[in-house]
């Protein structure tokens, strides 16, 4: 059994935190700059010291040098206390096999980031197409196995049939579910959420998923203070739209999580307000759920909120890792300031406003001291 909480408590609070910045491509640098301005202002208010180091990675670097991230930078990023990433990849920049460059996936594999945390909260003032009052959920997507397990398998070329492999291991599933139950406890303490975990699976058909459910049940038994439910992925997906209030923490397989986390993001206002964090027990990379959005880059209209909320998540994670209340306070201050701006404006066009990146960023910084 993995004791995530006791692991966290072993790492003590620090004088300052080293933050690696990976702005990347498209709107990545615009939204990372916005988030750093908010982080810096919020940290200054609380006398929390954050030191930033910027690294170049992504499609732009690949075009100039033939590599999307240098080995030295891959290594250096792993030494930081946390990483804030913008977005990487551009549809016009592709490798010889036709795929887009994705150093963020290489980082996931290199540092064993087995879970992607994707909180989706409907903030007052943000329009939603779904009729819902109070949506505040955290979708946890497993990111190293499931239907991505065979990504590097050798494949015999065929024009008749091609298969992908879905593998579930006990080791990863236990880590994933322990994290999910721990997150439910943390959220109950800091966000006032109910303390509940729902597993989404296809255990009625797939043997791998029946095993996933068995491991989930074992872990759930170890957390009697947290409620739990199991739903089939098809009905569970529908409920994101028909009854999103029923969810607190949702945990699921890699591809199911990829899809359902974007449905959840859509319910709460879209990619411009959806933060995320890829974590292992030791490393954390925080980034908006959106991509590099080349259609709007350089126009000063990208919504910086997803990245600002990712920066707040990063601080919440540092607070848990280092048992450091200052980080938790600064995270709460950023979330509150962002909520005020989402309610009163200014807002960017993707959530129905007519403002821009710069004005929203300035307003969040101003709201920190209001
Ligand atoms: P990826 O595959 O890299 O995740 P994607 O193909 O899903 O990327 P995005 O780059 O996320 O696409 O963009 C999808 C759509 O959402 C685009 O129309 C884009 O302009 C819009 N979008 C994404 N992020 C933002 C943002 N921060 N603010 C406003 N609009 C955004």
Q: Which residue has the higher pLDDT, 370 or 20?
A: 20
Calculate mean pLDDT across residues 156-174: 94
Percent of the chain residues past pLDDT 90, beyond the cut: 88
Per-residue model confidence (pLDDT) at position 15: 81
Asked if residues 40 and 364 have their Cβ atoms less than 8 Å apart, the reply is no
pLDDT in tens, 289-328: 999 999 999 999 999 999 999 999 999 999 999 999 999 9
- Cross-strand bridge partners of residue 94: 100
Per-residue model confidence (pLDDT) at position 10: 47
What is the chain's mean pLDDT, rounded?
Answer: 94
CA 253 to ligand 1 centroid distance, Å: 23
CB of 276 sitting under 6 A from ligand 1: no
Give phi and psi for 112, each to the nearest 5.
60, 40
Indicate if the pLDDT at residue 7 is higher than 60: no
CB of 35 sitting under 6 A from ligand 1: no
Instruction: Give the position of tokens 């759930």.
Output: 220
The minimum-distance atom of ligand 1 relative to the CA of 307 is 27
Verdict on whether the full-model pTM lies above 0.85 = yes
Per-residue model confidence (pLDDT) at position 2: 46
In eight-state DSSP terms, residue 13 is P
What is the CB neighbour count within 10 angstroms for residue 3?
12
Calculate mean pLDDT across residues 101-120: 93
- From 29, 94, 266, 271, mutation site for ligand 1 pocket: most ligand atoms within 8 A of C-beta: 271
CB of 293 sitting under 6 A from ligand 1: yes
CB of 284 sitting under 6 A from ligand 1: no
What is the CB neighbour count within 10 angstroms for residue 222?
12
Identical fold at 1-114+276-370 and 129-151+165-267?
Answer: yes
CA 290 to ligand 1 centroid distance, Å: 5
Per-residue model confidence (pLDDT) at position 155: 84
pLDDT in tens, 34-72: 999 999 999 999 989 999 999 999 999 999 999 999 999
pLDDT in tens, 8-19: 444 567 889 999
Q: Where are the domains of the chain?
A: 1-114+276-370, 129-151+165-267
Calculate mean pLDDT across residues 199-213: 98
Binned at pLDDT 50, 70 and 90, residue 370 comes out as confident
The minimum-distance atom of ligand 1 relative to the CA of 31 is 27
Per-residue model confidence (pLDDT) at position 132: 87
- Cβ within 8 Å of residue 279, ≥6 positions away: 113, 114, 115, 116, 117, 179, 285, 317
Tell me the residue length of the chain: 370
* C-alpha of 103 from chain center: 16
CATH placement of domain 1-114+276-370: 3.40.718.10
Indicate if the pLDDT at residue 22 is higher than 80: yes
What is the CB neighbour count within 10 angstroms for residue 255?
16
CA 237 to ligand 1 centroid distance, Å: 22
Query: The tokens of 147 are what?
Result: 């239907």
Indicate if the pLDDT at residue 4 is higher than 60: no
Per-residue model confidence (pLDDT) at position 11: 55
Percent of the chain residues past pLDDT 70, beyond the cut: 97
Indicate if the pLDDT at residue 263 is higher than 80: yes
Alpha carbons 267 and 244: distance in angstroms, whole number: 8
Binned at pLDDT 50, 70 and 90, residue 99 comes out as confident
Query: The tokens of 95 are what?
Result: 């490798």
Alpha carbons 356 and 337: distance in angstroms, whole number: 17
Indicate if the pLDDT at residue 217 is higher than 50: yes
State whether CATH 3.40.718.10 applies to domain 129-151+165-267. Answer: yes
In 3D space, the residue among 240, 243, 244 whose CA is nearest the CA of residue 259 turns out to be 240
- Cβ within 8 Å of residue 114, ≥6 positions away: 142, 143, 144, 172, 175, 176, 279, 280
């Amino acid at each position: 059994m993995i004791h995530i909480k006791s692991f966290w408590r072993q790492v003590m609070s620090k004088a300052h935190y080293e933050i690696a910045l990976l702005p990347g491509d498209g709107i990545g640098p615009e939204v990372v700059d916005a988030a750093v301005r908010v982080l810096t202002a919020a940290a200054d208010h609380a006398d929390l010291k954050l030191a930033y180091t910027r690294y170049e990675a992504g499609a732009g670097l690949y075009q100039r040098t033939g590599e999307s991230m240098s080995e030295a930078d891959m290594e250096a990023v792993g030494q930081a206390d946390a990483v804030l990433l913008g977005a990487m990849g551009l549809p016009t920049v592709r490798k010889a096999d036709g795929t887009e460059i994705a150093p963020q996936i290489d980082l996931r594999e290199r540092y064993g980031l087995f879970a992607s945390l994707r909180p989706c909260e409907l903030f007052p003032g943000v329009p939603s197409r779904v009729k819902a009052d109070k949506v505040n959920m955290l979708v946890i997507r497993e990111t190293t196995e499931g239907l991505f397990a065979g990504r590097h398998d050798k494949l015999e070329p065929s024009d008749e049939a091609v298969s992908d492999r879905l593998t579930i291991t006990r080791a990863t599933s236990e880590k994933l579910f322990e994290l999910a139950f721990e997150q439910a406890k943390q959220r109950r303490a800091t966000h006032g959420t109910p303390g509940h975990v729902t597993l989404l699976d296809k255990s009625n058909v797939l043997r791998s998923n029946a095993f996933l459910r068995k491991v989930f049940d074992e872990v759930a038994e170890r957390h009697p203070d947290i409620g739990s439910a199991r739903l089939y992925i098809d009905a569970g997906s529908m409920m994101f739209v028909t009854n999103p209030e029923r969810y607190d923490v949702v945990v699921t397989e890699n591809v199911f999580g990829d899809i359902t986390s974007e449905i959840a993001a859509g319910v709460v206002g879209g990619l411009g307000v959806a933060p995320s964090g890829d974590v292992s027990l030791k490393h954390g990379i925080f980034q908006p759920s959106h991509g590099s959005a080349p259609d709007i880059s350089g126009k000063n209209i990208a919504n910086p909120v997803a990245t600002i909320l990712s920066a707040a998540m990063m601080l919440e994670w540092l607070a848990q890792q280092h048992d450091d209340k200052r980080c938790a306070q600064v995270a709460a201050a950023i979330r509150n300031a962002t909520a005020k701006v989402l309610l009163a404006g200014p807002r960017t066009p993707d959530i129905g406003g007519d403002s821009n990146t710069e004005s929203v960023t300035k307003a969040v910084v101003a709201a920190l001291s209001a």
